[in-house]
Amino acid sequence: MGVKPIREKILEKNYLFALELLEGFVFGRTVRRRICQYKPYRLIDSAGNDVDITAASPQAELRFNDPRNPKNDILYLKTSTNSGYPWFFHGAIGIKPQFINMYLRFPEGKDIPGKFPEVDPIKPGSGDDLGYINSLNSPYEEPTDWIEIVIPPGQHLGAEYYNKDNRNHQPVMNLLFALYWIQLYTREKNPAQIRRIANREVPAAFLTVGFGDAPLELGDALKKDWRVEPMSLEEAGAL
């Protein structure tokens, strides 16, 4: 229970899951996986330059671009499927030094996790003391599910930063993700499997796409390419 290292949450091959989206849940199993780790990942800007954040100052939103070719977003999937299967990223980010707060936005420019419902919007530019990841809640050497990240195709993850120290620092991160190739179940072909997952009759992981007030929308394009129709848990449990 509680906050766990993300390595304990990564799914094995042939593991069942339910994926929550705005339209409902989709159900399936992992066919294969690839562990993808970028460590150390030193923060760069869109031109590939190192970002050294000034003391007691913010850093505007940046993607996690590849230092070897900054045009490429490390955590982006540009195709809906690969090798005939739908796919998505699942993982977490560890960070150092301890003076840096990282405020994730997913999709980029959108929601920051960790907002209390009745408080004003989180302001990374002011170094707000909520909604951030730092080395205490997701250490560099052991990224945790403090913020568990699921990234479907076609979506970018961004982050803003704030340096709490009285001297400059470059954030250094451990990007630890699994890339899953998956089989999605349909009500026509796999009603029994869907029902068992929804009713917790079999071991299965429940993952959410996004971390705002509502999950991220699957959208018509992915519905078509993934050949799936989301459904509520109640509907799934009654199949």
Summarised one tens digit per residue, pLDDT across range 163-174 is 999 999 999 999
Cα–Cα distances (Å) from 143 to 117, 134, 140, 161, in that order, read 26, 10, 6, 17
What kind and span of H or E run contains 73?
strand 69-73
CA distance 239 to 224: 22
Strand partners, 66: 69
Kindly tell me the number of DSSP H helices and DSSP E strands found in the chain.
Answer: 3, 12
Is 70 exceeded by the pLDDT of residue 216? yes
Is 90 exceeded by the pLDDT of residue 6? yes
Instruction: Give the number of other CB atoms < 10 A from CB of residue 205.
Output: 16
Is 80 exceeded by the pLDDT of residue 208? yes
State the pLDDT at residue 148: 96
Are residues 4 and 145 in contact, defined by beta-carbon separation less than 8 angstroms? Answer: yes
Residues with Cβ within 8 Å of residue 98, at least 6 apart in sequence: 134, 135, 136
pLDDT tens-digit series, residues 87-144: 999 999 999 999 999 999 999 999 899 889 999 999 999 999 999 999 999 999 999 9
CA distance 231 to 89: 22
State the pLDDT at residue 186: 97
Binning the chain into helix, strand and coil, the percentages to the nearest 5 are 15, 40, 50
